[in-house]
Structure 1
Amino acid sequence: MQTSNDLKTLLSRIDRRGYPAYKDTRGTYQFPGYVLSIDHVQGDPFAAPSKLSIHVDGRQAGFPQNLYRLSCQRIALQDELTRRFGHLAAQASFQAKGSGHSGLISISRCGQEVLERTACRLDPNTGKLVLRLEVGFPANGRTINARELEKILFDLLPRCVEQSLFYRNLNQARLQAVADLAEDQQYIRDMLPQMGLCAFVADGSVLPRASGVSSLPMKNAVPFHSPQELSVTLDLPHRGKITGMGIRRGVTLIVGGGYHGKSTLLKALELGVYNHIAGDGREYVITNESAVKIRSEDGRSIRRTDISMFINDLPNGKDTASFTTEDASGSTSQAANVVEALEAGTSLLLIDEDTSATNFMVRDELMQRVIHRDMEPITPFIDRVRELYEAHGISTILVAGSSGAYFHVADTILQMDRYVPRDITALAKQEASAFPVSAAPLSPAPLPSFDRRPAPSPEFRGDRIKLKSLGRDGVSINRETIDLRYVEQLRDGEQSAALGYAMVYAQQHLMDGRHTLRQIVAELETLLDEKGLESLCGGRSGVSFLARPRAQELFACFNRYQGLQL
């Protein structure tokens, strides 16, 4: 390992040379209190910035183990340190001048959710801290400006490191509050199945967002308050007693007039699979971590998926027990999304009628009289929703505003009235009794075998694979786009990037035609648990900014790849 003085000497030597001479700076350098590693150097000042990492020994960092004793606490602490460094880096960025990206200092931009990221990783055994960042190496035109890089590496960056990565210099009460909140959130998540619940929304939560394009809480919003019939109280390890609405397992229907908060509540539940930062308003909105948002997805690719429990006897004779299409309809895409969610191990489906295929969700009595069941290949979701719960333990939370058909099959019916929830189960059931169901019950349908065994695709041979994140919209691999726009529980473009790397890793190491998709995802989860997101990057130069997706999103990505060999 070289010293920081060695780096200064090198920078002086290459000053005013051609930009490629910056490549000589690659390596590790001992600075006071930490090690600076220059992992990848950009090819020119207009290319993607250089990748650097900061390594702080556990004794130097000094974070007490009680702050990261639990995995959820460690992730929350990493998130807090990333936010702190990002705030300081934004102030220091572009203080060094030059062309292109010269002077840029950047790190992952964290949203309202707390995600595990490659940007910051704390070793749970040693307390060692690794922080990854990007720096635009300064140039005048395409000539090295080493004096400006020296300003970054020996002045601006050390100040950011000193004020964000050493426990002695941080607000220790704030760090303890971050760890305590994470433990309380995990406690609620662990208690849900024990209490027969699939979700919890604390009284006082702020569910509406500032706008349709903002994830910040709305000012002066109506705070959430549970109906008495659904109110439950938990005794959290740190906050103590907390009261809120417990959504019981089974079939829950959310109804109400337009703009009264139905979809707002569902959106909060949808994102309740993640922990949220303090001040978000949804810190104590906790949903079963396997929950999957289901919607129609016209035009998506489907590969050998058994949708026969919902769609059968197509007029063209197409096999729905092993259904394949490059251009799915609304109903076939939603049927596939449900079945794939079951394959991914969900125990809770979240559905909004606004984004659903009407013919997949329900067929009214008049339509059934005109078009008999034996002439309709679609078995609507309403005919399977109770079976999914009673036979397979899969609950559903459904938003409906235009049809009362689900009153008959729901266990709990909530009305949102100006953002205030009311339990109207008894009233709705009484009214529904005046509209008896005339259709005969269906025979139960067994769940698919989930025995799909993907083989490696030829496109993934060799090391020269081009991978590009398209933000939350998807990922491009060798110019093949995997469309993730409608995988609504993805919250960050870095999760999409991680899905791309996971696809490449799975194709090269796990997909062999013998392992099922379930086994492949399970092996990926074990890899991420034991070795972290960095393990997906293989031998690539520098670790990319990645955020961990759930297993459910891994399934969603694999299922939307048109080249999946099944």
Structure 2
Amino acid sequence: MDKLRDILNRIDGKGYKAYKDLRGKYRFNDFTLHIDHVQGDPFAAPSKIRLEVPKSKTILREDWESTPSRKVRVEDTIARSVASAIRHQETQAGGSGKSGVITIDRPAQEVLQRTAVELTANAVIICLSIGLPARGRKVLGKQAKKMLFTIIPQVLNDSIFSLEDDTVVEAIELCDQQDAIREFMKGNNLVAFIAEGSILPRESGISDRPLRSDDVVAFVTPASLSISIPVPHKKEPIQGMGIQKGITLIVGGGYHGKSTLLEAIERGIYDHISGDGREFVLTDPNAMKVRAEDGRKITSVDISPFIQNLPFGKATTQFTSEDASGSTSQAATIIESLEAGASALLIDEDTSATNFMIRDERMQQLVSKDKEPITPFIDKVKQLYEEHEVSTLLVMGGSGDYFDVADTVILMDQYRPFDVTSEAKDIARNSISNRKREGGERFGDVQSRKPQASSLDSRKGKRSKVAARGLHTIQYGTTDIKIDFVEQVTDASQTRAIAEILHFVEKKKWLGLLSVSDLLERIETQLNEKGLASFTDFPNQHPGDLARPRMLELASALNRLRTLAIRQ
């Protein structure tokens, strides 16, 4: 502490680069301050610091880290408490640029593994970004002392040192219950579960918080789909709707909640915090939302299960396009998802290519099959489940032909679900349809692809340039990776992590040696064994603001790389 104070007194009023002298490690009474990176000027990205708090000075208990998911939940709880404490502090010190700013990578509604807080064997590491105070480009030493000696210790006092047992225990008990439900789902062939009373609508299109309104309809489970799941820390089991593996249709009129239900299910791959309304909306963690994506890059994907016999003899077993259509992009995304390990597909007809989803009887009569390259999804969805054990949850409001292939049909009526499977099957049996199946006898195999080393080139001029630009864009060298339509990326910190992992893969020269599936397996193993920070340049310093992505989203980013080169 004394050394840090002396440095700040010495550099007060000097040029901003004098702050570089602060880099190092400083012992405070209750924690150790690590200043890992100092920004070059007050307008640059904030400086990076770590606060190392001995566990002996906290209420943390060993059994709170007895499982990986519990450990993540405790880290998440601490991160939320620090974010709350920062929010209640006067962190603006005045001055230029980012002077006085203090931030942590703040969690939202989902619980994600993050680098913001890490529990080690003996300590809690808290990573913050701070704007060192300056006037113009002159050091404001007095304000910096206030930030480092008063505000930051107060943030710790108001967060980790004030953390109450009940807060942590509540979070851990919810974690245990969510884990128990996921285990039950595995053992009972469920692809999704929505608890009775869940609140599915969100506050707005740009807010993921629950809608608070007297008009909100809490989820009510149809009796025929109701299941009970015993969970720890509760005397009574949790009741709700279980969606079995297979093919499930969600039907109903417009504005009756079809897409709202699907959106809740697609976010159910993540656990949610207490009070979110979707705490017990849980989905197979390998379920993938797919959609049409006009204009995306496709590189050497075997889309022949869906598209064959293109004009001029263009092959579809190694299909490449710089500007894919809606149907070809959706076909490619499904095949890429299977390659990356998806076990369920989530599809909304509103964001799908119509000619990919269905070709009705009249169109079959007018345009014969030998003139139509596309085999619609309706004729492949059952084969997909029977051959590859990949389920489909599909929002469909415009085609009853899907009744023939569905295992379960759920009708949404004024935001309430009804099991109408029997009625839908009766309609299918009793109505006259001469629509011909076009899918052949098999779905087809998923070909292995090997990305080539030349695919990843982070050079921009003489330096590497890899950076996430918000939630949907990664700058990689001289090209951008656009993931606007990869809808299950929910946090910009996941996008940053994807960028770091791709850069790590480039530096380790893993491409050219491994297939896509083997590459993802190696990355997942390292994530499990060494953590997110192991993919950064300085894993023993501030690891950046990263949150763990799924391998499905990582593969999606790789597949949208316009410099991707593939060997099958």
Q: Distance in 2 between matches of 1:147 and 1:454?
A: 54
Residue 127 of structure 1, CA deviation: 4.5
Q: Secondary structure at the match of 2:463?
A: coil
Q: Distance in 2 between matches of 1:181 and 1:286?
A: 13
Give the residue type in structure 1 aligned to 2:551.
A
Q: Distance in 1 between matches of 2:411 and 2:136?
A: 63
Q: Which residue of 2 aligns with 1:295?
A: 291
Equivalent positions of 1:523-542 (< 5 A) are: 523-539=522-538, 542=542
Equivalent positions of 1:503-522 (< 5 A) are: 503-522=502-521
Residue 461 of structure 1, CA deviation: 6.4
Residue 42 of structure 1, aligned match among 32, 39, 42:
39
Q: Distance in 2 between matches of 1:52 and 1:476?
A: 25
Equivalent positions of 1:478-489 (< 5 A) are: 478-489=477-488
Give the residue type in structure 2 aligned to 1:108.
D
Retained in 2: the 8 A contact 1:305–1:321? yes
Give the residue type in structure 1 aligned to 2:169.
Q
Retained in 2: the 8 A contact 1:456–1:511? no
Q: Secondary structure at the match of 1:97?
A: coil
Q: Which residue of 1 aligns with 2:194?
A: 201
Give the residue type in structure 1 aligned to 2:218.
P
Residue 121 of structure 1, CA deviation: 1.0
Residue 325 of structure 1, CA deviation: 1.0
Residue 173 of structure 1, aligned match among 156, 161, 166:
166
Equivalent positions of 1:53-72 (< 5 A) are: 53-72=50-69
Give the residue type in structure 1 aligned to 2:334.
V
Q: Aligned pairs, how many?
A: 559
Residue 542 of structure 1, CA deviation: 4.2
Residue 432 of structure 2, aligned match among 435, 441, 445:
435
Q: Distance in 2 between matches of 1:238 and 1:316?
A: 64
Give the residue type in structure 2 aligned to 1:263.
S
Q: Deviations over 1:62-102 (max 9, x none)?
A: 41022221111111111111111111112225342221111
Q: Distance in 1 between matches of 2:366 and 2:309?
A: 19
Give the residue type in structure 2 aligned to 1:272.
G
Equivalent positions of 1:426-505 (< 5 A) are: 426-433=422-429, 434-440=431-437, 442-457=440-455, 459-460=457-458, 464-505=463-504
Q: Which residue of 2 aligns with 1:247?
A: 243
**Cα separation, partners in 2 of 1:458 and 1:520, compared to 1, 3 Å:** closer
Alignment RMSD, CA only? 1.6
Q: Secondary structure at the match of 1:89?
A: helix
Q: Which residue of 2 aligns with 1:230?
A: 225
Residue 312 of structure 2, aligned match among 309, 316, 324:
316
| Farther-moved stretch of structure 1 (511-520 vs 547-556) | 511-520
| Corresponding position: 1:188 with 2:152 | no
Residue 437 of structure 1, CA deviation: 4.9
Retained in 1: the 8 A contact 2:456–2:563? no
Residue 452 of structure 1, CA deviation: 2.6
Retained in 2: the 8 A contact 1:467–1:476? yes
Residue 460 of structure 1, CA deviation: 3.7
| Corresponding position: 1:561 with 2:553 | no
Q: Deviations over 1:405-439 (max 9, x none)?
A: 11110000000010100000111111122133541
Retained in 1: the 8 A contact 2:100–2:133? yes
Q: Which residue of 2 aligns with 1:10?
A: 7
Q: Which residue of 2 aligns with 1:104?
A: 101
Residue 527 of structure 1, CA deviation: 1.2
Give the residue type in structure 2 aligned to 1:171.
E
Residue 413 of structure 1, aligned match among 388, 409, 416:
409
Q: Secondary structure at the match of 2:453?
A: coil
Equivalent positions of 1:545-560 (< 5 A) are: 545-560=545-560
Retained in 2: the 8 A contact 1:454–1:517? no
Q: Distance in 2 between matches of 1:214 and 1:95?
A: 26
Q: Secondary structure at the match of 1:491?
A: coil
Q: Deviations over 1:88-125 (max 9, x none)?
A: 112225342221111101111221111111111112xx
Residue 158 of structure 1, aligned match among 135, 153, 158:
153
Residue 468 of structure 1, CA deviation: 2.0
**Cα separation, partners in 2 of 1:464 and 1:530, compared to 1, 3 Å:** farther
Q: Deviations over 1:18-75 (max 9, x none)?
A: 1110000000101112110001001111111111111122323341022221111111
Residue 343 of structure 2, aligned match among 344, 347, 354:
347
Retained in 1: the 8 A contact 2:70–2:172? yes
Q: Distance in 1 between matches of 2:226 and 2:336?
A: 33
| Corresponding position: 1:52 with 2:52 | no
Q: Deviations over 1:485-511 (max 9, x none)?
A: 000000011111111111111122143
| Corresponding position: 1:379 with 2:378 | no
Residue 458 of structure 1, CA deviation: 6.4
Q: Which runs of 5+ in 2 are unaligned?
A: none
Residue 143 of structure 1, aligned match among 129, 138, 141:
138
Residue 213 of structure 1, aligned match among 194, 206, 209:
206
Q: Which runs of 5+ in 1 are unaligned?
A: none
Q: Which residue of 2 aligns with 1:19?
A: 16
Q: Distance in 2 between matches of 1:305 and 1:97?
A: 54
Q: Which residue of 2 aligns with 1:398?
A: 394
Retained in 1: the 8 A contact 2:181–2:231? yes
Q: Which residue of 2 aligns with 1:263?
A: 259
Q: Distance in 2 between matches of 1:341 and 1:85?
A: 37
Q: Distance in 1 between matches of 2:15 and 2:446?
A: 61
| Farther-moved stretch of structure 1 (538-547 vs 319-328) | 538-547
| Farther-moved stretch of structure 1 (431-440 vs 361-370) | 431-440
Q: Deviations over 1:310-360 (max 9, x none)?
A: 011110322211111111100000000100110111111000000000000
Q: Secondary structure at the match of 2:347?
A: strand
Q: Distance in 2 between matches of 1:453 and 1:482?
A: 16
| Farther-moved stretch of structure 1 (541-550 vs 525-534) | 541-550
Retained in 1: the 8 A contact 2:89–2:151? yes
Q: Distance in 1 between matches of 2:387 and 2:520?
A: 25
| Farther-moved stretch of structure 1 (511-520 vs 417-426) | 511-520
Q: Which residue of 1 aligns with 2:117?
A: 120
Q: Distance in 2 between matches of 1:97 and 1:155?
A: 16
Q: Distance in 2 between matches of 1:117 and 1:411?
A: 38
Give the residue type in structure 2 aligned to 1:122.
L
Give the residue type in structure 1 aligned to 2:146.
K
TM-score (norm 1): 0.96
Equivalent positions of 1:125-136 (< 5 A) are: 126-136=121-131
TM-score (norm 2): 0.96
Q: Deviations over 1:276-306 (max 9, x none)?
A: 0000000000000000001000011111111
Give the residue type in structure 1 aligned to 2:185.
L
